[in-house]
Structure 1
């Protein structure tokens, strides 16, 4: 076989010609459809476009030239290559065939080898053209994606600069007043300390994002008894709940499995989720942390996971924001971007991934959110 199977549509009002040409092509394992008129060829091509049409010129009703023009007039069919195959051998007939859109012209009586070579050439050319179009479209899509990423990074950088400018301004004012010998009130010093903490936090988060993206996030794994770890970690939130007027529940059963993990990193991931839940839950609302065991399915069948869910009755996340909450460069485009860059969820996702785990998010605006972490046992 010269080429992989191709789908060829033959159009000729002479049954003997159809049989002969079909036999030649089928011998080389081409898929062949044969029809006796241009109108039937158009109908067959509309139902299932072929890779190539072989078209006789002299046919009653719609001749080959008219059939070719009809193919070229339809957007879905106009790019199908057409080879004319005719007893007409006048140069003007060939010129007309190319003028109406034909790709090649074979004169009857034809040589089987000549036909096969011409067919192979047009089928291969068509396939190469389609592959080139796909590659060009992929390049266009990649270029658009690159532009989008660059725009997101620009927005993110602008937001980061904005977040740094405010605390740096506070520090500058306090330092300038001290330099000029003025009295700095205790309240201003506290503001300066908060500004330093905010700057350090932002820089630490940026560094952690960079390390996680480049695979350089340092991890110190050890055995962690999930029940005792979660009980100790969540205990202080009862005081916070009392102070903020938010109900807090921790459902941590006995006998949870032992996991392998970096305890400080897991602390940070879970604390971030619980802190967010409190931050966005109004007074009289509720925050609940549930722990349990979940068994994998599909490709994860047979695996066992420690499941930790943080559920709140807060404001929820807009549906348009939900797909991007773990993308650090999308933070500047979120509807609550005025609150700052907020890299916490992006870092949580990367900390969980470093434990070969998963994080899921469900939310409904006005009803609350549910973040679930799964860590392999």
Structure 2
């Protein structure tokens, strides 16, 4: 019979340069019956881990000397300490830092200021996972399923936390930019109409002077010739029209930003999906243009009449953004690597089709490109967390994993990928109305 791994005293190493944090954490840990070891910098943490063999390490990211990330790398590179689970403590809100921590071997992170109950709950979970991992060979048939489920739940929780923070931060930022653009755009829009009127009035005045005084002073004639008055009178209305079009474009971008980043994290709302697709295409419009290496990508939208569906609009828009941006990346990478060869197609296209199935009470969104496509072994892994074919620094591998979670877990839908090398890629999303 297996004993409870948490029944014997556990040794937790706390690494933080803030004495107050160490005090609060050690009291919480000792109050639970565990032993607290303490270090105030990365070097001493590494030394203690080698001789004291703690069961788990709570490691602060920002410390003098070597920071938490470097400390973690060194611990994971040492055979003596590489299996000790590490949980980062961080006050940073940037998702990239948290992803970086998970990528270099940490099992979790806790954001400061922390709740004692949350700290204890996470310590219990990771101590148990660590224990199960160490004894897996002895109890492989008995515990494999349980361990896999624990790890999967943990991975999904981490993805969900990263996704929530990304959407919350991105949503506030993008919506804020949309609102900020509105003020100067409104000012420009209002004044442009006045400027048009003033220009017309001034031109009428000049024409009247020319009519009433047909023989002007030679100095005036010289100035008329110098500034090319005739050209100005032709070009000025065109410039004002161009300015009006630019202001109209800014209005569209502002609206797209606010549509894309709707604050809808708390509950589902009725939403017209076509608005989300259109706002995403608007935001990516600059990337679809000819960029020198790669010809323009033409977008084709084939919409049927869709009813509004109950959903989280901001999250669905993020899915559209991930898929369309990945298609653009694939085109860009192909043309970058094959710049001296013939174009991939007669015309690069991205086709977005929507359908409704009244009987199944569902809608289907199909996003298809005629790009380079992908081999079967890549297609099979596109929804795996941290799987990416992009160069280092170009992608985290979380985009499609989070998209899968949004469609399947949050909306009870389906998302599938179909692709063949040289034949493009198609994503099919099915959502209940």
- TM category, shorter: 0.3 to 0.5
Larger radius of gyration: 1
TM-score (ref. length: structure 2):
0.35
